[in-house]
Amino acid sequence: MLKRLLISLLLVFFFGSSHAQFDTVFAKTNIRLCADSMAMGFKTKNWDQYTRYSYPALIGSMGGKAAFRHHMDTLFRSIPDSVWKKYEPGRILQVIKTAGDLQAVIELNYVLEWQGYRTTTTTHLVGESWDGGLFWTFFNPEGDVTLAKLIKPDLSDQLIIPSKKEKGEPLVPGKKNQ
């Protein structure tokens, strides 16, 4: 009898802990899919797609979806698509479960070559999911925790938002810059 009880407890513990790991894998898969879709919207200037994956409170603070799309279009209209040499999500650094949502931090890496200058940047997006990790929205606090908490006041204190890293260098004609 004691042996059955012990085996039952071990099975409950094993399956209970494996479920938590599965949720993290599931969430990370969907973070990647949603971040990739957001990046594709940015690269193609498809502001409807980009807005779909942008943090709703940020969109609301800018006057709603139409105003947000207009702002993005105005901001990036004069920048040719060809200057973006790289614009893609990187590593998922954290996934935190809170009482009301899932929160995450994911790298955003981009390289911009424009007007004889190359800028290489790694910044970090804060992601949030209200549906258990299926759909994610993001915002970029530019490495500033104070700004992140202004945009999302209930941001978990467990979330670590690394500083933005940016390196600039002049492009040298005839030399392959990497």
Tens-place pLDDT, residues 137-167: 999 999 999 999 999 999 999 999 999 999 9
Number of domains in the chain: 1
CA–CA gap between residue 58 and residue 167 (Å, rounded): 27
Residue 7 lies in a domain: yes
- Predicted model pTM: 0.83
Residue 54 maps to a domain: no
Give the residue-averaged pLDDT of 41-50: 96
Would you say residue 21 lies in a domain?
yes
**Tell me, what's the pLDDT at 172?**
84
Question: Once rounded to an integer, what is the mean pLDDT over residues 76-105?
Answer: 95
Mean pLDDT of the chain: 89
CA proximity to 108, closest of 120, 117, 96, 95: 120
User: How far is the C-alpha of 145 from the C-alpha of 160, rounded, in Å?
Assistant: 8
Residue 55 in any domain: the answer is: no
Q: Does 68 map to a domain?
A: no
Q: Which domain holds residue 125?
A: 2-32+82-170
- Please list the residues that pair with 166 across neighbouring strands: 121
In this structure, is residue 158 part of a structural domain? yes
Whether 178 is covered by a domain: the verdict is no
Flag whether 123 is in a domain: yes
Backbone angles phi, psi at 122, to 5 degrees: -125, 120
CA-CA distance, 85 to 1, in Å (whole number)?
A: 66
